């Protein structure tokens, strides 16, 4: 048995640490406040909530969801599900932040500007289990309770999430009765009902549809190219404008390697401020937002895989650097 979620936190834009228009994240709330003995709280999680950087935008952006993977010193992985939405900044707070950057600030333009600026806020769930869709539903429910001001107390929903215990293994079996017994139904107390099905054995990877999507997007030849590159300990870099697609692609590649276990650096979503990790001499499987593609061009010994566009896909093989395979 294991906890469905080890930590829940709210990460917001920190105006006090805003430098030249670029801000940083700040943990506004965290539950529980003390670390679990068997699962320490991952440090630096603010960077992974906004991998492209904490920026203010003039228009409200649609809510987004993705799962980042953090690996600790014991090679144990923490899955950090991030649900990000955008809120309008308080005018007085923005004026105070702008006043700290310059000596004299014209207050009237600042008021107009503040009315058009939105800052990101992330609901984050940290778990040692990999259940992407369940995490999406849980964070979406918490967001709905917060925005729509439902009659259910938000503390009750978060408390039920953090106290939910599920089996690690014991998934679907051939028989109908065994299959029904393997399903675990949970609720967060807000009229919801979610079904979790664990794998038959805890050593089996939880791939979902990631393997099928990887073959559908890249094709068999390109996936085999990536598979061989991983087995021969080459660097593999995924590029995409979708963070969730980066995670799915990396998860799919690891799944087809089973029962082999990838023991090198594995970061499906690498924040822009940590791009120096790409210069490491050791093999890796890393995902980077395609916005930083120009900063990764010097990695000539790396296997690139661009999954930004479903209709135009690019895969450059390490052993055939001059060959570019495209599928339309």
Torsion of CA 227, 233, 235, 238, to 10 degrees: 20
Whether 168 maps to a domain, the answer reads no
pLDDT of residue 65: 96
Answer yes or no: do 146 and 215 share one domain. no
Answer yes or no: do 9 and 85 share one domain. yes
Whether 196 maps to a domain, the answer reads no
Domain boundary among 163, 179, 201: 163
| For the chain, percent of residues with pLDDT exceeding 90 | 32
Query: What's the CATH number where 36 sits?
Result: 3.30.450.200
Radius of gyration of the chain (CA): 22
Whether 50 maps to a domain, the answer reads yes
Number of domains in the chain: 2
pLDDT of residue 34: 93
pLDDT of residue 328: 26
Answer yes or no: do 232 and 312 share one domain. yes
* Range 285-300 average pLDDT: 80
Whether 173 maps to a domain, the answer reads no
Asked if 278 and 238 touch (Cβ cutoff 8 Å), the reply is: no
Which domain range does residue 69 map to?
2-163
In the Cβ-directed half-sphere of 76, how many Cα atoms lie within 13 Å?
A: 11
Whether 182 maps to a domain, the answer reads no
Query: What's the CATH number where 281 sits?
Result: 3.40.50.11500
Is the pLDDT at 111 greater than 60? The verdict is no
Whether 181 maps to a domain, the answer reads no
| Residue 95 confidence class, pLDDT cut points 50, 70, 90 | low
pLDDT of residue 225: 84
Answer yes or no: do 152 and 253 share one domain. no
């Amino acid at each position: 048995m294991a906890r469905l979620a080890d930590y829940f936190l709210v990460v917001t834009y920190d105006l006090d640490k805003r430098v030249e228009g670029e801000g940083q994240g700040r943990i506004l709330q965290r539950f529980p406040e003390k670390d679990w003995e068997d699962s320490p709280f991952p440090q630096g999680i603010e960077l992974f909530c906004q991998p492209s950087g904490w920026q203010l935008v003039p228009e409200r952006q649609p809510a987004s969801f993705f799962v980042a993977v953090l690996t600790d010193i014991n090679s144990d992985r923490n899955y950090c599900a991030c649900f990000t939405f955008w809120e309008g900044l308080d005018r007085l707070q923005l004026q105070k932040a702008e006043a700290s950057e310059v000596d004299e600030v014209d207050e009237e333009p600042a008021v107009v500007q503040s009315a058009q600026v939105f800052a990101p806020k992330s609901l984050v769930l940290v778990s040692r289990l990999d259940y992407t869709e369940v995490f999406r539903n849980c964070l979406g429910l918490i967001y709905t309770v917060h925005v729509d001001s439902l009659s259910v107390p938000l503390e009750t929903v978060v408390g039920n999430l953090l106290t939910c215990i599920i089996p690690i293994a014991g998934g679907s079996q051939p028989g109908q009765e065994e299959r029904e017994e393997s399903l675990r139904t949970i609720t967060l107390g807000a009229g919801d009902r979610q079904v979790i099905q664990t794998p038959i054995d805890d050593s089996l990877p939880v791939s979902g549809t990631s393997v099928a999507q990887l073959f559908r997007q890249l094709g068999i030849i390109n996936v085999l190219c990536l598979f061989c590159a991983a087995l021969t300990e080459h660097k593999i870099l995924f590029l995409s404008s979708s963070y969730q697609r980066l995670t799915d692609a990396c998860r799919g590649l690891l799944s087809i390697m089973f029962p082999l276990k990838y023991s090198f650096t594995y970061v499906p979503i690498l924040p822009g401020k940590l791009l120096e990790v790409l210069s490491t001499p050791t093999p890796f499987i890393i995902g980077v937002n395609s916005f930083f593609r120009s900063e990764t061009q010097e990695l000539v010994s790396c296997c690139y895989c661009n999954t930004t566009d479903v209709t135009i896909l690019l895969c450059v093989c390490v052993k055939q650097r001059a060959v570019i395979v495209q599928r339309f």
